[in-house]
Structure 1
Amino acid sequence: MSTLPVTSAGEPRTVLITGTSSGIGLAAAIAAAQAGWRTIATLRDTGRADALRKAAAEAGVALDIRQLDVVDPDSVAAAVDGVIADYGRLDAVVKNAGAGHVGTLELESVDDVREVMEVNFFGVVNVSKAALPHLRATGGRLVTVTSVGGVIGQPFNEAYCAAKFAVEGYMESLAPVAGAVGVRVSVVEPGAVATEFVNNIGLDVEARLAAAGPYADAMRHYIDRTVGSFLDGAQTPAGAAEAVMEALGAETPAFRIQTSPWAREFTGVKLADRDGSAVVGMTGTWVA
């Protein structure tokens, strides 16, 4: 059985989605609206909403597009309070906003690492904290788009994977507590997705390699391998958004939902790896 996007009284259920300017967030907003959810599509800069508006028009769906900056608690509170004021309820939240990052310990500052954590971890915490009382009132869903990088640490992604690991640990720990008050918690784990995510990292490959010193060879191997995986085997945003809809619609959604057979196989290496040798052996081939 699945959860209908309307209440027993026939009123639309309301979902708020962050990070909807492109990629999985945009696709999830369109899919939720098509499924009958009243969809609040949020993004940090509403000036970047053209692609979202175009996709909604092409799909023939209505979206309520609002500003929300996940690293600003006041912005988060204003967005959530505005939804409650306008619609009286919040039934689900999909936390998709995040930022990629490539770097390694000797080549970046501690402040760089803190910035990655601020967006990818504390942004999730900010939105979850603001939403949870309202989700508790409706018996709602708290869904976070993480990454296979939240399960398997990856070379030159120490800060990014640390943030995603933190999200997974936080949500896994929260899940039984939230469940005790009627809120279902899930994480959605994509692998490579054909989105603007890689471009948004803003990586100047040649400049980064020139500054990489003793890590240059390993970084080149990593970048070549990673770019190839996005070009050759990336999943579509719409395909990844299907896992988000599973988390929203299943009567009893799993806590951990991978978005593709590849993502299930990849994360399975870690989940079956008792001593860590399989993971380190696998990722070691990415830099040599």
Structure 2
Amino acid sequence: MSAPTVLVTGTSTGIGLEIAVGAARAGWRTVATMRDPGRADRLRAAADAAGVADLIEVRRLDVVDQATVAACVADVVATHGRLDAVVNNAGVGHVGTLEQETVGEVRAVMEVNFFGVLHVTRAALPHLRAAQGRLITVTSVGGLIGQPFNEAYCAAKFAVEGFMESLAPVAATVGISVTVVEPGAVASEFVANVGVDPEAAVSAAGAYGPALRAYLQRTAGAFAAAQSPADAAAVVVGTLTDPEPAPRVQTSPAARRFVGVKLADLDGLGVTALTAGWLR
């Protein structure tokens, strides 16, 4: 039989790049997608170094553009005759609070982090059904625990978690396994790409300035001890190859402890007490 085929979104840097290389190492024909294939040099170099360049192909896919999503998925199936798995990894970070941003800014975060996942999933489902395949979505511990100044980001990740948790039993009836993978802090360019200048943001935050300063200082400390992208990606690849993957997986002990606070917190007081401490 030919190698199974997996499509991974958001592979130009960070976890996505490492997932693509790790999946190829595990023997998967890996379609590594990104909005701008001109940014694929790092992925290609990593694939060459790992000796898996022949198993990785780069394709353009912009998750917010349904036409490119549909075209990419259709072309993958036409080329390889199958699509056995999808890893929804593409996403965008965002720091802000509602009084100081527009609804349009919030909507833009939702378009990438929620509707982008839906576009890819919807296009892939018929092919995953035919292959009795699997659907893996990289969410975040922020998909279970709302975090200060991450309202839009967490709202999108909460939505993805709810969607996939609801889809999982339905998809299982037609042979598709559904898993969400929840990283905590990961030392990748994802954080840098949020594009926050701490001093400028605090100066512009008005009444929220002291709380934002405390949050940014706490977050800088958390990411100083963050999990590596390769370690987080290894959990995703393990889920890809697991014969009976769990519906929810965390990428580190720290992520499991953090998520555990929410899952044991019926009245919400534990979570809000924890996150309020980040603002002092």
TM-score computed with the length of structure 2 as normaliser: 0.98
Q: Which of 219, 229, 237 pairs up with 1:226?
A: 219
> Aligned equivalents of 1:87 and 1:227: distance in 2?
43
Counterpart check, 1:35 vs 2:30: no
Counterpart check, 1:120 vs 2:113: yes
In structure 1, the partner of 2:258 is 266
> Aligned equivalents of 1:187 and 1:243: distance in 2?
11
Alpha-carbon shift at residue 169 of structure 1 (Å): 0.1
> Aligned equivalents of 1:102 and 1:224: distance in 2?
13
In structure 2, the partner of 1:102 is 95
Percentage identity across aligned positions? 65
> Aligned equivalents of 2:127 and 2:235: distance in 1?
23
In structure 1, the partner of 2:186 is 193
Counterpart check, 1:238 vs 2:251: no
Q: Which of 198, 201, 204 pairs up with 1:205?
A: 198
In structure 1, the partner of 2:151 is 158
Query: In structure 2, what residue type is equivalent to 1:129?
Result: R
In structure 2, the partner of 1:167 is 160
Alpha-carbon shift at residue 129 of structure 1 (Å): 0.1
Counterpart check, 1:280 vs 2:279: no
> Aligned equivalents of 1:58 and 1:11: distance in 2?
24
Counterpart check, 1:180 vs 2:173: yes
Alpha-carbon shift at residue 246 of structure 1 (Å): 2.1
In structure 1, the partner of 2:207 is 214
Per-residue CA shift, 1:187-229, capped at 9, x if unaligned?
0000000100111111121211111000000000000000111
Alpha-carbon shift at residue 251 of structure 1 (Å): 1.1
Q: Secondary structure at the residue paired with 1:12?
A: coil
Alignment of 1:28-67 (within 5 A): 28-62=19-53, 63-67=56-60
Q: Secondary structure at the residue paired with 2:135?
A: strand
> Aligned equivalents of 1:11 and 1:87: distance in 2?
9
> Aligned equivalents of 2:49 and 2:240: distance in 1?
23
> Aligned equivalents of 1:26 and 1:56: distance in 2?
9
Q: Which of 46, 56, 73 pairs up with 1:80?
A: 73
> Aligned equivalents of 2:38 and 2:3: distance in 1?
28
> Aligned equivalents of 2:85 and 2:147: distance in 1?
31
Query: In structure 2, what residue type is equivalent to 1:46?
Result: P
In structure 1, the partner of 2:137 is 144
> Aligned equivalents of 2:99 and 2:4: distance in 1?
48
Query: In structure 2, what residue type is equivalent to 1:179?
Result: A
Q: Secondary structure at the residue paired with 1:229?
A: helix
> Aligned equivalents of 1:11 and 1:85: distance in 2?
14
Query: In structure 2, what residue type is equivalent to 1:21?
Result: S
Per-residue CA shift, 1:248-277, capped at 9, x if unaligned?
111110000000000000000000001000
Alpha-carbon shift at residue 123 of structure 1 (Å): 0.2
TM-score computed with the length of structure 1 as normaliser: 0.96
Structure 2 unaligned blocks of 5 or more: none
In structure 2, the partner of 1:3 is none
Structure 1 unaligned blocks of 5 or more: 1-9
Counterpart check, 1:19 vs 2:10: yes
Query: In structure 2, what residue type is equivalent to 1:11?
Result: S
> Aligned equivalents of 1:45 and 1:22: distance in 2?
12
> Aligned equivalents of 2:201 and 2:212: distance in 1?
9
